[in-house]
Amino acid sequence: MKSQKVGFILLFAVALGYLLFQNFKGKQQVKNIPDQVTHILTFGDNLTLGNLAEPNRSYPSILEKLAGKPVENKGATNETTESALARLQAEGSHLKGELVIITLGAWDLMTRMPLSETLKNLAKIFEFFLEKGYLVVYGGFSVPPTGDNWLMAISQLCGEYKVLYAGDLTPIDWTYDAKGEFHFSPLKSEENERIANSIYEKIKRYL
């Protein structure tokens, strides 16, 4: 009986140590963890800008209330990773903050940009913010027919650059039809709340 108790305690200790190690390891895989976050930057396309949302219900607006920190919205209409990179190179010196949330890729999928180009552009965008000391967060999209493979490649890129991956943020109404045409509709408040909450759950330990 005594040996069983000892065995149980040892097993529990090993399991606890493994969980703590994984938690520590996970934190170490994120680069540029800030001592303090005073300003959050959101950088992306229509989803970030909020022109598909109800007034004052974009995900950055909702996130600002959840985080209790100023959130700057740097979204742009119909932004691809290519146009975002060009905008960043032109305007990037004026950006501020310790944490940046990037939501790009939907328009790459819509315009059938080759995955290799998307990855190359995102890598340069990640490098830009990482070199400036930002903790970089990326939220991806998974839209058929290529979305799953696309998303897997992006998540691997995040791992390479030690970027915090926020998961699949695809709005439920964004789909391809049988002809392969991309469709999206204005987002309901509930969808933006879901996206903002998903991101907040990922970043709250760093705030």
Token pair of 21, please?
């190690």
What is the CA angle 184-48-174, rounded to 5? 15
Output the pLDDT for position 17: 43
Q: Residues, the chain, total?
A: 207
Model confidence band, residue 111 (pLDDT cutoffs 50, 70, 90): confident
Is residue 62 over pLDDT 80? yes
Indicate whether 77 pLDDT > 50: yes
Tokens of 66: 């959840």
Q: How far apart are CA 109 and CA 38, in angstroms?
A: 33
Q: Which DSSP helix (H) or strand (E) runs through 116?
A: helix 115-131
Q: What pLDDT, in 10s, does the model give residues 179-206?
A: 656 566 666 778 889 999 999 999 999 9
- What would the pLDDT profile of 132-179 be if each residue is shown by its tens digit? 999 999 998 776 555 567 888 999 999 999 999 998 887 666 665 666
Residue 21 confidence (pLDDT) above 70: no
**According to the model, what pLDDT value does residue 174 have?**
60
Q: Is the pLDDT of residue 63 over 90?
A: yes
Place domain 31-206 in its CATH homologous superfamily: SGNH hydrolase (3.40.50.1110)
Q: Which residues contact 133 (CB under 8 A, 6 or more apart)?
A: 32, 98
Span 20-30, average pLDDT: 51
What are the helix (H) ranges across the chain?
2-28, 46-49, 59-67, 81-91, 106-110, 115-131, 147-161, 189-203
Residue 101 has pLDDT above 70, yes or no: yes
